[in-house]
Structure 1
Amino acid sequence: MLQFALDIIIFFARNMVAAFALFFGVWLLAGRRLDLSGLRLRPAVVWTLSLALVTVFAGIAAWYVGLEGFAGEVEPVISTLSWLVSHGHPLYTPFDAAERYSVLYGPSVFLTNGLFLKLLGPSLVSVKLASAIAAVGSLVLLYAAMARRRRDTMAVALTAGAAMYFWAQGFSVYVVRPDALMLFALALGLYGAARLRLPLAVLLVAVTAGFGVNLKLHGILYFVPVMALLATRFGRRATVSSLLGAGLVAAIPFAFNDQISLVNYLAWVRNASHHGLTTEFLSLDLGYAAALVLPLGLVLALGGWRRWQGTPEGTLVLSLVAVLPATLVLASKPGAGMVHLMPLALPTIYVLGRLLHRLQDVGFDWRPRTRQGALVAFALTLLLAGSVNEYRAVRLLDWQSRQLPDLADDVRDIMIDYDGLTLAMACGGENKAFLSTWPRALLAFSDNPVLLDPISVMDSSLSGRDLSSSTYDAIREGRISVWLVPRGQRPFRKVNWYAPHLPIFPDDFVEHFEKYYSPRAKSRYFDLWFWNGLPGVAVLRGGGGAAEELLVR
């Protein structure tokens, strides 16, 4: 019985429109029997509840920064590349290079995280801090963009609602990816377009939009509502100026950083264009999109569209409607999903705030019971979806981290034991074995060379890009002295997550590797494969440490 109840709760937490329909229906039915018209929350209560949710949101961000590990599979490669590009290594390698570690994200995410690594030193805390600050900062900026007075009750409630929209996607908002930075850039752009005067508004929108495009190439889509807002305040000329400025800002990293090649970046983007589309997560994508549209649809349905035609608020609504279909298509790319829709939560909440503020000024013409029911149902829906999905995500991450205790320390001890040898990490196996490879960024932080990253190889192999002959040469020549392989696994045996789920490394590469490398030592979590050209043999170690055996040279 308990399991059934939990399954029902999870179902409605993952299906927000269904949850709203349930809560709204219950409210209307209850209103027939009970007089609910007198139920009102005082502003102090709204502020307390909203700030409590935002505080928990920030608390989870702080907890994750201090957690020794990562929550997502892409974070290790982003962290690695952030260090590499800030220390003189190319960010985007050509496909004929020996190295295969690039991914298709724009340079902004790597340069931002790289800056934190430079300022604070190379660590997992440093590389996660930018996303944490960006996630929390986006909520602060959203409130600043919406609030019409210092203590705006509606604005703080909607800000908490935005946090629930983020939480509805689990842990995505906190991880080391472009998404949190995109939220921050978008919120800052909204603030500039809504609050600043010319020319600062145009300048700030240009900078944030250019930064967003360099997070993800399609990032300009998220800024369409921001550009529309700018146009409603200052006219089309201001919007055109911001677009031109955004183009200039986006060009800066490619023009002034020798390690960032526009040609190679576009080659990786073209590589991803061959991945096609998938319907694997279509129902989840459509459900989240419907949840975004729901509050705006309610306001328009209950108040009528005609009153908004030709108004700034109507223009903002149309800008959101124009962007949503294209974003849904992008979310259908293999490996994409709902996270591509998350940035739209910010302009959606902002536009909703504009509509409600206007109705608050002119007076609601809805029936009180309907208005109250819609408000309560929407609030409960967001609270259910956000809290349940985030709780499950935090519990999963906590469980995941406890499966491999002291994993990062094991990697650090190996680096100490084999100081002077070049180290790299090979994938091998699935699930827990693959999780054990996530601290591989620590090797790069210690200036070990990076030859291969499984996420990069996964993306390129899906498009039919074979490994370069130079990669085979690097293996033969022993460019990496020691490879850390998940214990008990065959090196480089990993299935592609994308259909048809083929091995990402071909058999001949695995055999080529095993010809030139041999396992000579072990640590708690890794088998250590040494290049056969190294002198000496592995013997049993006498002392304590990560490695159970050491190479005698």
Structure 2
Amino acid sequence: MYSNRQRTFESGPFVLILAVSAALCAAYFVYVLFLYGNLEGYVDHIEPSIAISAWRFMKGHALFQDTHEWPKVGGYGPLLYIFHSVVFKIAGGSIPLSKLAGSIAAAGSILFFYFYARGRFGAFKAYAGVLMFIAVLMIYAPYSFWNRSDPFIVFFVTLAVFAKDLPIERWGRWTPYVVVGLCIGLATNLKIHSFIYFIPIVLDLCGWREVYKMVIIGLISIIVFLLPFIHPGISLTIYLHKFFGALAAKGGIDSNMLATSFRFSLYFLSPVLLLAGLVARGKNFVDGKDALYFAALVVTVAISIYPASIPGTGPHHFLPLLAITIDSMLRFAKKFDDAPRLQMGILALIPILFLVISLPVQRRLIRNIDRIAQEKTAKEIHEAAEKFKDEAIEIGYGESLENYRFSYFKPILLFAGNPITVSAKDVMEYNAAGFDYTDRFVAELEACKTRNWLIPKGEAPFRLQSYYGVHGLFGRAADVFTERYEKTDALSYYDLWSCKKN
């Protein structure tokens, strides 16, 4: 029970300040979701690839292709494409709609964490927790809300944190275990190693000794993970072959990425500061269950360093641990209830620190959004699609990584009924794994199957280098292209290349 002093503090002006601050940050985050969600463009080369794969899947194509099949699309777990294809099925195809599900997942994560924290810790700590939660989401923008798997995994981990504390008298004894099992299965279907993020939750829910409950959770998660593979267009064998092949091709840890991973891991180890304060006050202030929860978090962060440090990945692999990190922080902060002023300082300083760190990220994000909006590249592509509505037209690649971003608009032409012959992102990954599909692409070009191509303005067609090594990504296809196609027009952002007349 709270003392009168604590009750006064819980309902005092500081709580109001926290509530207003949390509401303002939430409103800003929703504003960013709206800005990026309405933007007809992407900031990352994998986002258009996901939209393309989801659209093709909705149209009846197989989600994953065997090594001998062409073209190559699809790389994440099937649930990601199912989410986006459902949106396309209901509302139609567009770049903004391809980002809708990720935005909903990000907003849902905030709501579920608030409900959890409000129920367990009260309003004061819930507002502080939401502030920290949103601040870290902003530090990780746009990873935290784009159309890739990250916001969905964050959502399922947050939902599991919420579910583990569901009152038994209202929801029943087994509901928390079932919901956690469902969340693990769904998250693992999105990204196969995602089960590791639930280690602290399962230990907190089951303890060390109730192994049979862990087994039940595990069985539920395996069944849920396998369910999407029942679909005839989703092959488990091809998916696993592609995943482990790509993992082997990327090799070991990149030293530069390892350094970045260590730096970002500090956000998720930050509860140690409060734990150190509790230890300094005396061992009686540290709850054993809270300490075990944090220890499991530390182990999971350590495990996550590997997937965060291999080439082609990044520190966003820590982001799913966000809800667990803030939960651990609030659990330790609760032990300072007998020192309200100290507790107030802690729960004010940490959110402020996280928010300050997020400011440069937000400036960069808004600058990129403004640039894409002002360039009006999408408008030019829509006009080209209308002009060549009776002929096939695609967006190709130039020679510079700087202008690689002009290929991010490929889904616009796909949604208008045009084909997708080649994806640089997928060719990069398959080349790194030792597969060369140059002959397949060359055959497409020699046959002029796509009569018109938009190439970044002023660039030599298809001379792009791979992220995974200094070599031409498309091999002799670049020479074949200039033999079979000629530049017929110069637009604002692209050159139009059309098949030569025989």
Same fold by TM-score greater than 0.5: yes
Paired residues of 2:250 and 2:310 also in contact (CA < 8 A):
yes
Measure the CA separation in 2 of the matches of 1:260 and 1:139.
Answer: 32
Contact 1:210–1:247 under 8 Å retained in 2: yes
Deviation at 1:330, TM superposition (A): 0.8
Shift of the alpha carbon at 1:431? 4.7
Q: CA separation in 2, counterparts of 1:102 and 1:114?
A: 13
State whether residues 65 and 72 of structure 2, in contact with CA within 8 Å, keep that contact through their aligned partners in structure 1: yes
**1:102 corresponds to which of 67, 74, 77:** 74
Aligned residues: 484
Could you say which residue in structure 2 is the equivalent of 1:42? 14
Q: How does 1:327-338 map to 2 (within 5 A)?
A: 327-338=304-315
Equivalent residue letter for 1:473: A
Change (3 A) 1:41 1:389: farther
Shift in CA distance, 381/309, structure 1 to aligned 2, threshold 3 Å: closer
Amino acid in the other structure paired with 2:196: L
Question: Hey, what does 1:73 align to over in structure 2?
Answer: 45
Alignment check: 8 A CA contact 1:178 1:216 kept: yes
Q: Does 1:428 align with 2:402?
A: no
> Aligned-pair distance for 1:91?
1.7
Distance in 2, matches of 1:60 and 1:210, equals 30
Name structure 2 gaps, 5 residues minimum: 1-11
Q: What TM-score does the superposition give when structure 1 sets the normalisation length?
A: 0.82
Match of 2:474 in 1: 505
Partner Cα separation in structure 2 for residue 198 and residue 469 of structure 1 = 59
Aligned ranges for residues 164-313 of structure 1 at < 5 Å? 164-195=135-166, 196-232=171-207, 235-255=210-230, 257-273=231-247, 274-276=249-251, 277-294=253-270, 296-304=271-279, 306-307=283-284, 311-313=288-290
* Cα distance between partner residues in 2 of 1:375 and 1:199: 34
CA contact (8 A) 1:167 1:385 kept: no
Q: Which residue of 1 aligns with 2:134?
A: 163
Give the drift of 1:308.
7.7
Alignment partners' CA distance in 2, 1:375 and 1:46: 9
User: Are residue 408 (structure 1) and residue 378 (structure 2) matched?
Assistant: yes
Contact 1:117 1:126 in 2 (8 A): yes
SS of the residue 1:217 aligns to = coil
For 2:449, what is the secondary structure of its paired residue?
A: coil
Measure, in 1, the Cα distance between the counterparts of 2:341 and 2:25.
Answer: 27
Deviations 1:209-261 (A, max 9, x none): 11111111111111222222321499433332121111111111112x22212
Q: Which residue of 1 aligns with 2:55?
A: 83
Does the Cα contact within 8 Å between 2:121 and 2:334 map onto a contact in 1? no
Partner in structure 2 of residue 354 of structure 1: 331
Q: Distance in 2 between matches of 1:271 and 1:308?
A: 49
| Deviation (angstroms), 1:65 | 1.0
The one of 484, 487, 510 equivalent to 2:457 is 487
Q: Which is bigger in relative contact order (C-alpha 8 A, separation at least 6)?
A: 1
Deviation at 1:439, TM superposition (A): 1.0
Question: Shift of the alpha carbon at 1:391?
Answer: 2.6
1:4-55 CA deviation, whole Å, 9 max, x = no partner? xxxxxxxxxxxxxxxxxxxxxxxxxxxxxxxxxxxx9521111111111111
Q: How far 1:430 moved relative to its partner? A: 2.4
Contact 1:330 1:336 (8 Å CA) reproduced: yes
For residues 469 and 306 of structure 1, what CA distance do their matches in structure 2 show?
A: 68
Q: Per the alignment, do residues 479 and 259 of structure 1 end up closer, same or farther by CA in structure 2, a change over 3 Å counting? A: farther
CA contact (8 A) 1:164 1:387 kept: no
Given candidates 424, 437, 458, the residue that maps to 1:467 is: 437
- In structure 2, C-alpha distance between the alignment counterparts of 1:526 and 1:244, rounded to whole Å: 52
Q: Which amino acid aligns with 1:444?
A: L
Q: Classify 1:431/1:512 alpha carbon distance in 2 versus 1 (closer, same or farther; 3 Å).
A: closer
CA drift of 1:525 comes to 2.5
Give the TM-score normalised by structure 2.
0.89
User: For the Cα contact (< 8 Å) 1:97–1:468, is it kept in 2?
Assistant: no
Instruction: Look up the match of 2:420.
Output: 450
Could you tell me which of 319, 337, 353 is aligned with 1:342?
319
The letter of the residue matching 2:223 is L
Distance in structure 2 (CA, Å) of the matches to 1:376 and 1:249: 40
Matched, 1:516 2:488: no
Deviations 1:483-531 (A, max 9, x none): 2212222221112223x3332222x121223333333344332223333
Q: Distance in 2 between matches of 1:43 and 1:264?
A: 53
The answer to whether the 8 A contact 1:495-1:504 is kept is yes
Q: CA deviation at 1:310?
A: 7.6
- Indicate the SS of the match to 1:502: strand
Tell whether the 8 Å contact from 1:289 to 1:341 is kept in structure 2 after alignment. Answer: yes
SS at 1:280's partner residue?
helix
Q: Which residue of 1 aligns with 2:6?
A: none
Shift of 1:432: 5.0
The aligned residue for residue 9 of structure 1 is: none
- Residues 149 and 346 (structure 1 numbering): CA distance in 2 closer, same or farther, change over 3 Å? closer
Once residues 527 and 286 of structure 1 are traced to their aligned partners in structure 2, the CA distance between those partners, rounded to angstroms, is: 43
Aligned pair partner of 1:314 in 278, 291, 294: 291
Tell me if structure 1 keeps the 8 A contact 2:453–2:498. yes
Cα offset, 1:137, TM superposition: 1.0
C-alpha RMSD of matched pairs (Å)? 2.5
Sequence identity percentage: 22
- Provide the rounded CA distance (Å) in 1 between the counterparts of 2:157 and 2:99: 20
Q: Distance in 2 between matches of 1:485 and 1:336?
A: 28
Contact persistence 1:224–1:323 (CA under 8 A): yes
Match of 2:95 among 114, 119, 124: 124
In the TM superposition, what whole-angstrom CA distance separates every residue of 1:170-210 from its partner, at most 9, and x where no partner exists?
Answer: 42212221111111111112212222543322222222211
CA contact (8 A) 2:268 2:301 kept: no
Q: Tell me the distance in 1 between the aligned counterparts of 2:342 and 2:287.
A: 27
Change (3 A) 1:328 1:69: same
- Name the aligned partner's letter for residue 182 of structure 2: V
> How far does residue 373 in structure 1 lie from its aligned partner after superposition?
5.4
Give the distance between the partners of 1:350 and 1:143, measured in 2 at CA.
11
User: Aligned partners of 1:435, 1:51: CA distance in 2, in Å?
Assistant: 35
Aligned partner of residue 436 in structure 1, secondary structure? helix
Note if contact 1:169-1:390 (Cα within 8 Å) is conserved in structure 2: no
> How is 1:21-32 mapped onto 2 (pairs within 5 angstroms)?
none
- What code does the residue aligned with 2:296 have? S
Q: Which residue in 2 is equivalent to 1:528? A: 496
- Determine if contact 1:98/1:474 at 8 Å carries over to the other structure: no
Match of 2:85 in 1: 114
Is it true that 1:323 corresponds to 2:300 in the alignment?
yes
Deviations 1:41-91 (A, max 9, x none): 521111111111111111111111112211222111111111111111122
Match of 1:13 in 2: none
Distance 1:376 1:149, change over 3 A: closer
Q: How far apart are 1:119 and its partner, in Å?
A: 1.0
